[in-house]
Amino acid sequence: MPTFLYTARTRSGDPMTGTVEAPTEVVVQEMMRERDLILLSVKEARQTFSLQQLNLLVQHVRTKDLVVFSRQLAVLISATVPIVRALRILAKQTESKSLQEIVAGIANEVDGGSRLSTAMHRNPRVFDDFFVYMIRAGETTGRLDEVLEYLADQKEQDYQLYSRVVSSMIYPAFIVVVLIVIFVFMMISVVPKLLDVVASSGAELPAVTRMLVMVSDFFQGYWWTLVLGGIVLAVTYFVLRGRSWGKRLLDQSKLHIPVIGNIFRHIYLARMSRSLANLLASGVPVNRSIEIVSDVVGNAVYKDILRRVQLDVESGRSLSDSLSGNSYIPPMMTQMIDVGEETGRIDQILLKVSEFYLSQVHSLTRALVSLVEPVIIILLGAGALLLVAGILMPIYSVTAQF
């Protein structure tokens, strides 16, 4: 359905502009009369494909801003504030410039007769399918404020989980980067000068010292190969992410990284369980719920699994039978779902499963941090031992001859 830009004024003379979806301009005129507005001008909004793509690319809203927006909108709606007025209030209050423009556009569309879920669906980079479908369920059941509160909690939990994992890895990553920088600096600036002292003596160099000489020469003469290799790896990564088979390969590799891969698996299982539970609790059909979850789970491997499960469920198989036998789905999860299907409490069971995997993520993250610290200490000790054996001992041997 085409979108029209209109300019109108109220009976009191206040100007008003906005957008409205309608099949023809005549329908727009009728809509303005029904809303007791005097239509001044109307024209169809024409937007090129490239401009639409550009708009989608530049839209970036932080999860934190989206959480605050959902909570504030829930409060305003529960206070019986009209939806359009609530959206316009929030468009002025939010700190994010991108979100301000998006919410203002949504307010105009809703004011023009669109449903809130339909208007949000036009901004897929901000409001994903899960968010939109939950809003649609809230509009249907008349529990929009409760759905918005739940979405705020959901987004906040995802944000906290992501922040917890990232913050747990900041210290180890910082130490590793510092170690690499110090090693490169030693190989380029310090080690060559010390090795010159040893080499000028004419003494035979130990194997460890010769190895250090080779590494130092490489860093001094061929450092550009490391920069070039980093650029090639980065370009290769982004090219692979842009292709479906490449994304599947990267996502599958991510799940098989020692220790870290297990954390990723539990994150995806928790997200999948929680999203599916809440969609089912809102009355969304099982097959449609699985389809939505496959789009928001965040991993191509699990997306493919859920797509196959959706086909099995539509053909008459139960959800637990469709998930069983898959190496990426633990037997415990399928057994719990089977119990939920038998008792008719599958949404509650899935929430319990989600809580279990979230607790596993927290435990594994703490264990990983505890494991990384002694590994860093061992690396520091090994580096110090290498320098002592390769530099100081030959220097000591040369000075001992005099």
pLDDT grade for 201, boundaries at 50, 70 and 90 = low
User: How far is Cα 276 from Cα 264, in angstroms, rounded to an integer?
Assistant: 18
Buried b (16+ CB within 10 A) or exposed e, 342-380: eeeebbebbbebbebbbebbeebbeebeeebeeeeeeee
Mean pLDDT value across residues 129-152: 78
Average pLDDT over residues 300-327: 89
Q: Is 45 a residue whose pLDDT tops 70?
A: no
Query: Which residues, other chains included, contact 290 with Cβ-Cβ below 8 Å and sequence gap of 6+?
Result: 276, 306, 309, 310, 313, 319
Q: How confident is the model at residue 291 (pLDDT cuts 50, 70, 90)?
A: confident
| DSSP per residue, 64-117 | HHHHHHHHHHHHHHHTT--HHHHHHHHHHH-S-HHHHHHHHHHHHHHHTT--HH
- Highest average pLDDT, of 194-208, 274-288, 333-347, comes from 333-347
Q: Which residue has the higher pLDDT, 3 or 9?
A: 9
pLDDT of 48 above 50: no
Rg (CA), the chain: 30
- CA–CA separation, 17 and 254 (whole Å): 49
Judged by average pLDDT, the poorest of 153-162, 253-262, 337-346 is 153-162
Q: Is the pLDDT score of 199 beyond 80?
A: no
Least confident of 46-60, 78-92, 208-222, 273-287: 46-60
Higher model confidence: residue 309 or residue 281? 309
The mean per-residue pLDDT over the stretch 274-296 comes to 83
pLDDT given at position 232: 92
In sign, the C-alpha dihedral spanning 224, 229, 232, 234 is: negative
Mean local confidence (pLDDT), 103-120: 84
Q: Give pLDDT, residue 56.
A: 43
pLDDT score for 27:
62
Give the pLDDT band (50/70/90) at residue 43.
Answer: confident
pLDDT band at 349 (very low <50, low <70, confident <90, very high): very high
Does pLDDT of 28 surpass 60?
yes
Contact 306, 272 (CB under 8 A): yes
- In this predicted model, which residue has the larger pLDDT, 238 or 282? 238
Decide which of 253 and 242 is more confident.
253
Which pLDDT score, from 0 to 100, does residue 390 have? 72
